[in-house]
Structure 1
Amino acid sequence: MSAVLVAGSEGGIGRACVEAVEESGVPAFGVDLAGGIDITRPGGAEQALAEAAAAHGTVSGVVHAVGMSGRALGDGGVRDCTDVAWSEVHRVNHESVFRLLRAAIPAMPRGGSIVVIGSVLGTSIDDDFRTVAYASAKGALIPLIRTAAREAAPHGVRVNLVSAGLVATPMSRRAQTSETVRTRLPSLMPLGARLCRPEEVAQAVLWLLSPSSGRTTGAVIPVDGGWHLR
């Protein structure tokens, strides 16, 4: 049976994607740095795809859910961001998407679908979330997935991006515990003053992986409680 490769399967959103895929009746092949496959390094994407194919024969779906916050490395405003934060955040959050797209597109059958997890911070500037390395890396995903979608379309492979809002995962713990952010939730998310759940992001991913979205490619699908409407 054809499978879905989920890169970043041990993260909050990645784990939810694995569960959603498997609940739909499709095998999920999860890879993560903790399991010894690092798609952010040269050869890692090819290794992940090869192992998924060896286990299941065909990989018709790929999810990129690898990501990191650079605050601990010094990410912040333009004047404050450190060189280390800038390079590492871009390597993990942007360059690794390029590597996975480059490896996956020629390896996938017609009808294949690739979904990348982005962030509302890639298109929305907010003083309480001022992290220039993270925001610019996520923003750069939009032209990347659109270029990939254009190249992949003649081969019957689709590429889309889910722009996630503030999601209740370990990576967003700082925001979750901030009294300032909690006070602002009603204005940040017009659909309701709560964080998005990983399962809500995963359901959008599942739709983009499915034949139901067969005419959708190069799209940016927000799952952010209306954050992008501000």
Structure 2
Amino acid sequence: MTAHTLDDRVALITGAGSGIGRAMAVTFAKAGARVVVCDIDADGAARTAADIGDAALPATADIGDEASVTALVETAISAYGRIDVLCNNAGIMDTMALPAEIPLALWERVLRVNLTGTFLVTHAVLPHMLRQGRGAIVNTASEAAVRGGAAGAAYTASKHGVAGLTRSVAWAHAKDGIRCNAILPGPTMTGIATAASFDPTGAARLAPVLALGERIAQPEQMADAALFLASDAASFINGALVPVDGGWSAA
């Protein structure tokens, strides 16, 4: 059986200053990886990297900005010479507003970070993976990637887009030694949003679906699933959308 290890590999993880991304960074480092800990919050990235130690490099980037992403990838390559694993984890929540109530600015911000940001980082990392002849990409999608009632329209559309991008990259680069999969977290203790930030009408409308996912996961449970997909144990898994939701998607 192939172990879930990342010995001597370099992993770039976005949104690694807190929540699922932080758990991924810690878990991957324990599995033997050197980790580029990226977050828009410089202090959060520094805290995660400090907790990991010498195997971590903190980095700050706005993944929705192409120049910032280019600088991020250049930093990783300059430090380690390669990127073997990319975890596109950074994301933001919407307010769960119904479609007619979403301000255009919120729609554009959520799509810019969650979908365009995932594309920009992938776009910047792929040439390095292609030169290496191998790589593993793990995207953090959501149960909202396969449901209509798990979040507001902006977040739902963005995560459906991440699912489509995951499959497109997997299909396009399967013969290049590059795999691309996504985890679909259910409710997880991440702090990405608070009840106070939700639109009450939209939250009430979505409540019956959200109630199906009443079990709350810990970020480490998401990180363990991502580690499996990033490791050679998942060497023949490509283009998969993997629910990590305690059975929510089975309801």
Give me the TM-score of the superposition, normalised by structure 2: 0.80
Deviation at 1:15, TM superposition (A): 0.2
After superposition, the Cα gap between the structure-2 partners of 1:76 and 1:56, relative to the gap in structure 1 and judged at 3 Å, is: same
Q: Give the aligned partner of residue 45 of structure 1.
A: 69
After superposition, the Cα gap between the structure-2 partners of 1:87 and 1:9, relative to the gap in structure 1 and judged at 3 Å, is: same
Q: Give the aligned partner of residue 47 of structure 2.
A: none
Q: Give the aligned partner of residue 77 of structure 1.
A: 98
> Unaligned stretches of 5+ in structure 2?
1-7, 43-59
Query: 1:140-219 alignment to 2 at 5 Å?
Result: 140-174=161-195, 188-189=212-213, 193-219=214-240
Deviation at 1:47, TM superposition (A): 1.8
CA contact (8 A) 1:2 1:56 kept: no
Aligned-residue sequence identity (percent) comes to 27
> Unaligned stretches of 5+ in structure 1?
none
Q: Tell me, what secondary structure is at the counterpart of 2:100?
A: coil
Distance 2:138 2:40 in 1: 19
After superposition, the Cα gap between the structure-2 partners of 1:85 and 1:19, relative to the gap in structure 1 and judged at 3 Å, is: same
CA contact (8 A) 2:14 2:89 kept: yes
Q: Give the aligned partner of residue 8 of structure 1.
A: 15
User: Which amino acid in 2 is paired with 1:89?
Assistant: V
Q: Give the aligned partner of residue 22 of structure 1.
A: 29
CA contact (8 A) 2:20 2:89 kept: yes
State the superposition RMSD in angstroms. Answer: 2.3
CA contact (8 A) 1:4 1:27 kept: yes
Match of 2:147 among 124, 128, 141: 124
After superposition, the C-alpha distances for 1:174-195 in whole angstroms (9 at most, x for unaligned) are 29xx9x9xx9799614xxx530
Deviation at 1:43, TM superposition (A): 2.3
Q: Tell me, what secondary structure is at the counterpart of 1:70?
A: coil
CA contact (8 A) 1:11 1:66 kept: no
After superposition, the Cα gap between the structure-2 partners of 1:107 and 1:226, relative to the gap in structure 1 and judged at 3 Å, is: same
After superposition, the Cα gap between the structure-2 partners of 1:49 and 1:186, relative to the gap in structure 1 and judged at 3 Å, is: closer
Q: Give the aligned partner of residue 86 of structure 2.
A: 62
Q: Bigger shift: 103-112 or 82-91?
A: 103-112
Distance 1:152 1:43 in 2: 25
After superposition, the Cα gap between the structure-2 partners of 1:132 and 1:187, relative to the gap in structure 1 and judged at 3 Å, is: closer
Distance 1:210 1:56 in 2: 19
Distance 1:105 1:169 in 2: 28
Q: Give the aligned partner of residue 113 of structure 1.
A: 136
